[in-house]
Structure formats: C-alpha cells, structure tokens
Structure 1
Amino acid sequence: MDRSAEIADFLRTRRARISPDAAGVPADGRARRVPGLRRDEVARLAGISIEYYTRLEQGRAGNPSPEIIEAVGQALRLDPTEREHLTNLLTRPGTVRRSAANGPQRVRPGLYLMLQTLDHVPAFVLGRRTDILASNALGRAVLTDFEALPPGKRNLARYLLLDPESRSRSDEWERYASETVAMLRLDASRHPNDRQLADLIGELMVHCPEFSGWWHDHKVLQRTHGAKSYRHPLVGELVFQYESLILPGDPDQTLCVYNVEPGSPTAERVQLLRNWTAPEPIGTDV
C-alpha cells in the first residue's frame, strides 16, 4: 500500500464531501476549482498552517501528534471509524497498534462452544480480511458452506463479490458488497503489510466490476449492528437483526450473530433450516 497516496486520496475525498456553507466557511469571492473545502480552509478550521496541512495531505508531515489528527478529524467531520483510519494512515509503519498481527489466526475452543450454543441462529467468527474463521450450521445454511471451501478461500468478501449466487440472495447485494469493501479498506490501514490482503484486493479488483469504484471512494466501516435480509432458495425471505461483537483477547476477531424476531415468519423459516441442517440421528439396533 502506497501510504502517501492513501493519505492524500483519503483526505481529498473527505474534504470534497463538505460544502463551505456546511462548514461555516464564508465566501471569499474566489472561484472554486474543486468540490468541497480547499486545503487552506481545512487548515484554518483545524487551527494549523496551510503549509503543515499541505505536507500532511502529501504524507510528508512525519508523525503528527494525536492532537493534530483530532483537530483535522474535527475539521473534516470524520466519524470514529474514519478517525481511526486516519490515525492508522498517519502513524508511521511499526507503530500502528495492529501492524504486526499478520500470522495465522486461531479460534479458541470456547468460541467454538459458543457457536454450538447459538445453534438456533446463524453465527460466525470474522477475522482479518473478512476471513471466515468459524461458523455454525445455520450460518453456513444462510450464506454458503464455507467449510466446504479450501481454507484459503473461506472469505466473506470473496464470496459476496465473486460468487454469482450471492448476488441472487438479496435485493440489497450492492449495499452489502460495498460495505464489505469499506471493511477491507479499514483492515488495509490496520495491516498495511498484509500480503494476503493485498492479494485479495488485487483479485477483487480484476474480477469484480464494481470493486474499483467502491475501493476508490475511500469509505471505511467497522460493522457493529443493523438489519440484513436474504432470499434462501429453500425457505424464502429471511430478515435478521445482526450484532457484531469484537472479541476480548483478539481485536481482529469479530463474532457476528444474526438474530431473529420471535414469532416472526423468519423465525419459522429459520427453524425449518435448523431442522434441515440437523444431523441425522444415529440408529440403534435392538
């Protein structure tokens, strides 16, 4: 990842989305050649010099202080996830909190037990790069059978963006896919030296027509909670309220649980799926 280019593109796209009126910047009579705020306007809002902000946007400001990053974040109205992303980009390699975490990920035994306990709803554990580290039977039934794939292919982004089946599973495929790209963007700033992530991005860039546009939007997302709907070929429409919980002991693992409203049509359909995925009882000779 070209760190300087990433910093420049992220800051340019963030200031381009803010109108001078919204930022409270008075008109000065100058013609605007770019949308949104100019560099000098961001610098003034952040309380820093235009020269320093220019070096910052060009990736030449060294290692700026947390106070400077916070001031720029406020000027650009960044949300908490965007501020973390900016901090990751502006922090020199080797000092980012997660930059060295590139080894194989392991799911501890207690999490496998938790997935079994949650056998009444779809659940799975996401790792770096949106790798699917573990899943329960309903999680595999609702999305796809990740355990049937080679270990290196068990990846949510790869499934959503490259598997034609995923496009037919939801009318909101475009939103889910673009949000997943935003998750990869955040992961890339957390792990700038992750070779497997770079390979995945290259694969998606080549094989998913929409990926390039979403990637160059420079949106970032930390998934937390929300609604999802899927169209299952056996039971029909499924509507979930999901919760994503960063796991204690490993901030690069997230437990994702798809909850259902009790008594709803989805609850009935999930129960049908649960019956369908239940193992066959073992017969006993008498």
Structure 2
Amino acid sequence: MDSRGGPIEGEGPEGESLPALLRSWRGRINPRKIPRLAAPGRRSKGLTQDDVARLAGVSARWYGALERNIKAEYSADFLDRISSALQLSPAERRTLYLKAVGRPPALAVTPEADAVAEVDEALLQQFLDNQTPAPAFATDLAWNVISYNQPVLDWFPWAAHQANQMRWTFLAPEAREQLVAWEQDWARPFLGQIRYARAHHPKDEALLRLERDILAGSPDAREMWDRREVIEHSHGALRRLRLPYHQGREVAVRIVDLRPMRSDLLRVAVLMEDHQRADGA
C-alpha cells in the first residue's frame, strides 16, 4: 500500500504482478557485463525485452506475451530459459512458475530420489568444491544437474536452475556455438549415452521423457538418432568449448566421469582444462 492507502504499482489481490516482477528482474542486470550484449555506447542499465528473448533463445513475441501476463501453456523449458537469462535465484524461479503457470517447477531429481538419498550430499558437495578451479557437477540418471561447484556457474550459468545437461545441449541455441564441433564431439556421443542409459533402464520415465523431448525438439538429433550409436560414457574425452566466460577464447578440456560407490544412478563430471591443447595448440 502507498501512503494514501492505495495499492502499490504492480501489486494486486495476489501480491506483486508477474509483469512488475519481470520488469524488476530485467532492470537489475547490467548488459555491459554480458559479452553477447555489450556494445560500445550502450546506455541501458537493464535488459530490454529483446535482450531477454535473445539470451533465452526464444522469440521476442513469446517473451513479450509472458511479460504482459497473457495466459498460455508456457513450457518448463521456456520458463527455465527465462530464469537463466534473468539470473533468477531458486526462489525467484519458483515464483516465476507460480505466477506464469500456477504451479511450482518439478523437482529435477524426483525420479531418482532414492538414489540421491543414498549419497551423502554434504560429502558430494565438498568433493565438487575441492575440484576448483575445474568445473565439477553431479547429475542424476536423466542428466538433471543436482549439484555443482562455483566454476560451473561461471562457465555454464544455466546450471543454477535445476537444468538438464542434455536438454541444454540439444535445445538451447547457444549450445551449438559454445560446444565446439557440436555434432561430432558432443551431440552424437551424448545421444549414444542416452541410448545406452535407456537400454539399461528401459522403464525409467525420466529417461523416456528426455529422449522424447530431445527428438521432438531437434531435427538434427532425430537424424543422428537413426545412426543407432551406443556409447557408455565420455570419460577421458578431449573436448573444446567457446564460452562467454572465456570471452570467446577456445578452451580445451579433458572430461573425467565418475560414479559414487554407493549409487550407479548418479554421475559426477569434472572438466579439467588442457592448457597444452588450448587455443588450437
């Protein structure tokens, strides 16, 4: 309420409105600190609607509809992209879901809750933190990111929003730019790993949804899927990245894949930078 007893702008019977929240979240981000948006002479202190759409890889029209509070069947993938673009905290992401679609986001680890319960989360987090400065993260059976260290957030900000490693690889437009040799080195091996996991856990609903979502959302993935390639893991693989965090510099990493002794339904990945092979050396 304001000093005259009237409602504060953007506040209604259900509290602050979604448009007001989105405008506030946009306004607090400095575009000069985002390499993709930084431009000489830019004076804007916050993100524009077009900026958010570009960072999220969605149409400006579709994001504009969300900010105008137009009711629609916004997908979890769409809302998570917006959450990542706006750098929302977990509580803010939950609020976005509640305001936009009337329900909280699904828990990423629900299908494998028993597996997660078998792992000492504090010990796992300590292990990941001890890998710094190398990015290290843990996923469940369906590649939902459940834990990570700070370098992961520096390299891959999308990981903060209960993201899925495979969905980002195949459905996020920026992935093709950031994962060097996307098809040969990343997409095909990842599809092979999904096929391997599906063969070993044919009744797992989360894996089934993952396969369906990727094949429905990516024509390139559908074409590669017909190769019938099967790959168990990426341990030891040398891969290249070109991330905003490195300001466009190409970085070579060696992938270390691990599994906790107490559960074969979790994965731990460490990306060790290979300085001898960096920048095309």
- Give the partner amino acid of 1:120: P
Q: 1:201 to 1:261 in 2, by over 3 A?
A: closer
Give the C-alpha shift of residue 143 in structure 1: 3.0
Q: 1:164 to 1:173 in 2, by over 3 A?
A: same
Question: Which is greater in Rg?
Answer: 1
> Aligned pair in 2 of structure 1 residues 216, 144: CA closer, same or farther (>3 Å)?
farther
Report the CA distance shift for 1:119/1:209 in structure 2 as closer, same or farther (over 3 A): same
What is the CA-CA distance between 1:265 and the residue it aligns to?
6.1
Partner residue in 2 for 1:233: 244
For 1:103 and 1:118, the matched residues in 2 are separated by 25
Give 1:1-286 correspondences, 5 Å limit. Answer: 102-104=111-113, 105-106=115-116, 107-108=119-120, 109-147=122-160, 149=161, 151=162, 154-175=163-184, 176-223=186-233, 224-235=235-246, 236-261=249-274
Give the CA deviation at 1:234. Answer: 3.8
TM-score for the superposition, normalised by structure 2: 0.53
- For 1:242 and 1:214, the matched residues in 2 are separated by 22
Q: Is the 8 Å Cα contact of residues 115 and 123 (structure 1) preserved in structure 2? A: yes
Q: For CA contacts below 8 A with separation 6 or more, give which structure has more relative contact order.
A: 1
Q: Is the 8 A contact 2:259 2:266 kept in 1?
A: yes
SS of aligned partner of 2:128: helix
Q: Which amino acid aligns with 2:188?
A: S
Quote the offset at 1:203 in angstroms. 1.3
SS of 2:191's partner is: helix
**Matched residues in 1 for 2:203 and 2:252: separation?**
37
> For residues 135 and 178 of structure 1, what CA distance do their matches in structure 2 show?
25
Normalised TM-score (structure 1): 0.52
User: Is 1:241–1:260's contact at 8 Å kept on the other side of the alignment?
Assistant: yes
> Percent same amino acid among aligned pairs?
19
- Taking only aligned residues, the RMSD between alpha carbons, in angstroms, comes to 2.2
Q: How far did 1:215 drift?
A: 2.1
The code of the aligned residue for 1:210 comes to: D
Q: Which stretch of the first structure deviates more once superposed, 257-266 or 155-164?
A: 257-266
C-alpha change, 1:233 and 1:240, in structure 2 (3 Å) is same
Contact kept in structure 2, 1:178 and 1:214, CA below 8 Å: yes
CA distance in 2, matches of 1:174, 1:168: 11
Structure 1 gaps of 5+ residues are: 1-100, 267-286
Q: What is the Cα deviation at residue 167 of structure 1? A: 0.7
- Code of the aligned partner of 1:244: D
- Report how far residue 140 of structure 1 moved: 2.6
Give the total of aligned pairs: 162
Counterpart of 1:73? none
Shift of 1:263: 8.2
Are the equivalent residues in 2 in contact too, given 1:244–1:255 (CA < 8 A)? yes
Q: Residues 112 and 215 (structure 1 numbering): CA distance in 2 closer, same or farther, change over 3 Å?
A: same
Tell me how far apart the structure 2 counterparts of residues 265 and 213 of structure 1 sit (CA, whole Å): 31
SS of residue paired to 2:198: helix
Are the counterparts in 2 of residues 124 and 256 from structure 1 also a CA contact under 8 Å? Answer: yes
AA matched with 1:219: E
Seen in structure 2, the aligned counterparts of structure 1 residues 120 and 191 have a Cα distance that, compared at 3 Å, is same
